[in-house]
Amino acid sequence: MTQRSPISKPPAGAAERIYDELLVTMIWAGDRRAMDRLAARWQPRLIRTASRYLGSGQDANAAVQEAWISILKGIHGLKDPARFAAWAYGILRRRCADMIRKATNRRSVQIELADGDSSEVTKPLDGVAIRVAFNALPADQRFAAHLFFVEGLTLAEISEAQEVPLGTAKSRLFHARRQLKTALSDPPPGDDQ
């Protein structure tokens, strides 16, 4: 009598990814409701990612709207529906980078203000400390860390989304982790405990 191997639990998010693949396939077949469902599922993720990348909710909304235009125009050219997540984040990254290039002066003022605010915090809450630490990362590292920790993308998907070699994606994530660990392990100023 042979012993059956236990059924392994699918990886976290596998069902969601399969559902996204199904929606993309349905869009290819002309189902307009599938695009509405896909947009409803992905809008919060893209907004969250763009907000983390740009640091501004208004800019994030504009970048996501531009990304959706590109996604809608190009979805029929997507060769593999399983690559939708990396493809969509890649489009979003390019739209965010365009916005950063267009608003360099305004953006540098926002960064200076954010840096000034973070030094005045004497005992930040965990969520605030994490946001401050994330905002201190260089943009490419912040985007890679967000895709990995928040969105759950694999290194290969991050590499594809950022249009960089796998080694570069690993390096960005490694440096982001190291900087986040340092920033979050240092005691806040004025905390004598």
Computed over its alpha carbons, how large is the radius of gyration of the chain? Answer: 19
Question: pLDDT tens, 72-92?
Answer: 999 999 999 999 999 999 999
Question: Which whole-number Å values give the CA distances from 113 to 121, 143, 156, in the listed order?
Answer: 13, 21, 35
Written in H, E and C, the secondary structure of 154-182 is: CHHHHHHHHCCCHHHHHHHHHHHHHHHHH
Question: pLDDT tens, 140-153?
Answer: 898 888 888 888 88
pLDDT value at residue 54? 85
Q: What percent of the chain has pLDDT over 70?
A: 77
CA–CA dist 84, 18 (Å, integer): 10
| Mean of per-residue pLDDT scores for the chain | 80
pLDDT higher at 13 or 33: 33
Q: Is 48 exposed, middle or buried (0-12, 13-18, 19+ CB in 10 A)?
A: middle
Q: What percent of the chain has pLDDT over 90?
A: 43
Does 14-185 carry CATH code 1.20.140.160?
A: yes
Give the residue from 106, 34, 108, 97 showing the smallest Cα distance to 66. Answer: 97
Q: Is the pLDDT of residue 120 over 50?
A: no
pLDDT higher at 23 or 6: 23
CB contact burial 80-116 (16+ within 10 A = b; e otherwise): ebebbbbbbbbbbbbbbbebbeeeeeebeeeeeeeee
Q: Is the pLDDT of residue 59 over 60?
A: yes
Question: pLDDT tens, 148-186?
Answer: 888 888 899 899 989 999 999 999 999 999 998 888 786
pLDDT higher at 191 or 42: 42
pLDDT higher at 38 or 102: 38
pTM over cut 0.75: no
pLDDT value at residue 107? 42
Per domain, the residue ranges of the chain are 14-185
Interacting residues of 193 by C-beta distance below 8 A, sequence separation 6+ = 187
Highest mean pLDDT among 36-45, 47-56, 144-153: 36-45
pLDDT value at residue 24? 95
